[in-house]
Amino acid sequence: MAIERNKLRWNGWGWTAHKDALAGREEVWAWLAQELGMPSLLATPARKLEDANLPRPQLAPDLRARLVAIVGPEGVRDEPYERAFHALGRSYHDLLRLRAGDLAQAPDAVVYPRATEEVLALLSLASQRDIAVVPYGGGTSVVGGVSGNRGAFPALITIDLSAMDRVAEIDTLSRTAAAQAGIYGPALEAALAAKGLTLGHFPQSFEFSTLGGWIAHRGAGQGSNAYGRAEDWLAGAKLATPRGLLDTQTFPASAAGPDLLSLIAGSEGIFGIVTEATLRLHAAPAASDYRAYLFRDFASGAAAIRSAVQEGMPSTMLRLSDADETRFYRAFARAGQSATLKSRLEQAYLDARGFGRQACALIAGIEGEKPVVASAASYFAQIARKLGALPLGRGQGGRWLAGRYHGPYLRDPMMDRGLGVDTLETATSWSKLDALYAAVRAALDAAMRETAPRPGAHGVVLCHISHSYSDGASLYFTYIFPRALGGELAQWQTIKKAASDAIAAHGGTISHHHGIGEDHLPWMAQEKGQLGIDVLRAVKAALDPKGVMNPGKLIP
Ligand SMILES: Cc1cc2nc3c(=O)[nH]c(=O)nc-3n(C[C@H](O)[C@H](O)[C@H](O)COP(=O)(O)OP(=O)(O)OC[C@H]3O[C@@H](n4cnc5c(N)ncnc54)[C@H](O)[C@@H]3O)c2cc1C
């Protein structure tokens, strides 16, 4: 196994050994309490695994023996850590339940196959003997994609793909690679880098998520402007199903009827398990240029991104923070420090030039061959200048790149202090972007006030444009709020529903890259239409007639 799973938190993010410096910074907690209208923040420690409520496994001994016969004794695990680690994903409300020691959804056993044939044998057994199956990559789903939902079935196993982590072949001439689906991001990129290649799929969860999960949730890495989304780089796949193997084969392009690959990307484990995939690659970039700009407002920053993508400028990432996100992260970095003369002068200069409370930071990232990078960076600088932006240089861009995977580590210390922190994302056309942005912001703000634990308390809403296309862009919202202790799940549901209803009412997709899972099901029928849902049901019936695959996900 490429990653030492037993060193990961079963109820939080990343390595157990990682102790984030934030936890002990009392000045930051005092500042955050003030920002959220709270007198102080309470300590809310998580329960230990020994004190958690873990139900007894329901797997009959003869079934366990059949699983062992397929994957060997080492491949069937049912000790508490394994079952707890695989009970839920890593969304905010998953963490609420895990931290409270609620392991009602733990699987009866976790099974680790090593080859496609073993996966096929497991799924055939599950279908014959009525065992629900949750396919599991890194478990970083934030939409309830790996929740241990057994539906109407008496037993539940999680099939963890992490022992299937080989890169089978790299075709440097065609720039493709075939890899097993359980490979983690860093191991995949290391194997490709050895041949001077990259997939370029770098989600914020990169360190702890897998190729199969990226495909199954149809994800987008932070550099998807250049490297594409999962469905763009996926060239072929093997899908093990209860009915046998669906092998799409790999062609650079084909007109042989509808593309079956597009049924696999985004299938969230409900049709079968992706065991191996062929990927389109890029040359590892020879150069990269990440630099920051300050725009006077969100509209002019968005206009810069729109111009760049519509004019065909090569970009890897154009990330525009709204005014609140820009201010919040600056203040967060300086929390507890008194303003120096230099920082006051800087602010006075910015205010005088019109970069006051509405100012928005943008990071423009460009990767590729040196001349392409140099010319695109200078092209974007021109666009930004025309729109009145202030160039801030490479320091801030470089710091963002260096810390791009650190953000999720801040969530656990925040949850230890009675705070809620969640994210959601959507996408829409440029013409609807402003209205969608305003509506979701307002919905989040109102719902956080309504559910706040005391009068006057409230949340903060931060947003950025995360990915951009010629016809539109995605909006990524982070919201932080004081938890209504004791009623936290209801509070989360109220906030989530308000924001999702606003998305649906204003022409946004219910997800740009997180997927549907269980959490977005209520909005799925509206987005796909009844006929669309019927098509998905028909495909499921063809591949998984008993319905054992990932019950309760994707199809309402
Ligand atoms: C802090 C944080 C940051 C994130 N940032 C991003 C981001 O930048 N971009 C992004 O796209 N997503 C992001 N995500 C969401 C999540 O990481 C992605 O959805 C990721 O692709 C999931 O991969 P995984 O291996 O963890 O899959 P899992 O969580 O294990 O599974 C995801 C879904 O795929 C199914 N599945 C997993 N493996 C297979 C397989 N081999 N065959 C069939 N089905 C399978 C599961 O049943 C489940 O439905 C983030 C999540 C967190 C917690």
Count of domains forming the chain = 1
Residue 354 falls inside a structural domain: yes
What is the DSSP secondary-structure string of 158-181?
EEEGGG---EEEEETTTTEEEEET
Residue 343 banded pLDDT, cuts 50, 70, 90: confident
Mean pLDDT of 279-307: 98
Whether ligand 1 lies within 6 angstroms of the CB of 112 is answered as: no
449 occurs within a structural domain = no
φ/ψ (deg, to 5) at 241: -125, 165
278 Cβ below 6 A of ligand 1: no
- Binned at pLDDT 50, 70 and 90, residue 332 comes out as confident
Residue 11 in any domain: the answer is no
- For ligand 1, pick from 95, 122, 209 the residue to mutate: most ligand atoms within 8 Å of CB: 209
Chain segment 423-447, per-residue pLDDT in tens: 999 999 999 999 999 999 999 999 9
Query: In the prediction, which pLDDT does 276 show?
Result: 98
Q: Which residue has the higher pLDDT, 19 or 476?
A: 476
Mean pLDDT of 220-232: 98
Closest atom of ligand 1 to CA, residue 161: 41
CATH code at 312? 3.40.462.40
Residue pLDDT, tens place only, 36-92 = 999 999 999 999 999 999 999 999 999 999 999 999 999 999 999 999 999 999 999
Residue 21 has pLDDT above 90, yes or no: no
Question: Average pLDDT, stretch 337-350?
Answer: 85
Strands (E), 78-166: 109-111, 131-136, 155-160
Q: How many CB atoms lie within 10 A of CB 199?
A: 22
| 14 in contact with ligand 1, CB cutoff 6 A | no
SS3 sequence, 496-531? HHHHHHHHHHCCCCCCCCCCCCCCCHHHHHHHHHHH
223 within a domain of the structure (yes/no)? no
Structure confidence by residue, pLDDT tens digits, 120-153 = 999 999 999 999 999 999 999 999 999 999 999 9
Mean pLDDT, to the nearest integer, of 390-395?
96
| Mean pLDDT calculated for residue range 157-163 | 98
Atom 48 in ligand 1: which residue has the minimum CA distance?
145
Give the mean pLDDT of 352-370: 95
Residue type, 520: H
- Say how many Å lie between the CA of residue 467 and the centre of ligand 1: 18
413 touches ligand 1 (CB under 6 Å): no
pLDDT tens readout for residues 470-525: 999 999 999 999 999 999 999 999 999 999 999 999 999 999 999 999 999 999 99
CA within 13 Å, CB half, 276: 22
DSSP 8-state assignment for residue 389: P
In this prediction, residue 321 carries a pLDDT of: 98
Q: Is the pLDDT of residue 344 over 90?
A: no
Predicted confidence (pLDDT) at residue 2 exceeds the cutoff of 70? no
**Domain span at residue 308?**
287-404
Q: What is the mean pLDDT of the chain?
A: 96
Establish if 303 belongs to a structural domain.
yes
Q: Is residue 10 part of a domain?
A: no
Instruction: Provide the angle, in degrees to the nearest 10, between the axes of the packed helices 488-505 and 521-543.
Output: 90
Three-class DSSP category at 195: coil
Is there a domain that residue 444 lies in?
Answer: no
Query: Is residue 347 domain-resident?
Result: yes
- Tell me, in angstroms, the distance from the centre of ligand 1 to residue 59's CA: 27
**Band of residue 283 on the pLDDT scale cut at 50, 70, 90:** very high
Has residue 13 got a pLDDT over 80?
A: yes
- pLDDT at residue 15 in the model: 94
Q: In this predicted structure, what is the pLDDT of residue 4?
A: 86
* Mutation probe of ligand 1 site: the residue of 90, 94, 207, 217 with most atoms within 8 A of C-beta: 217
Concatenate the DSSP letters of all residues of 229-268 into one string. -HHHHEEEEEEEETTEEEE----SS--SSS-THHHHTT-T
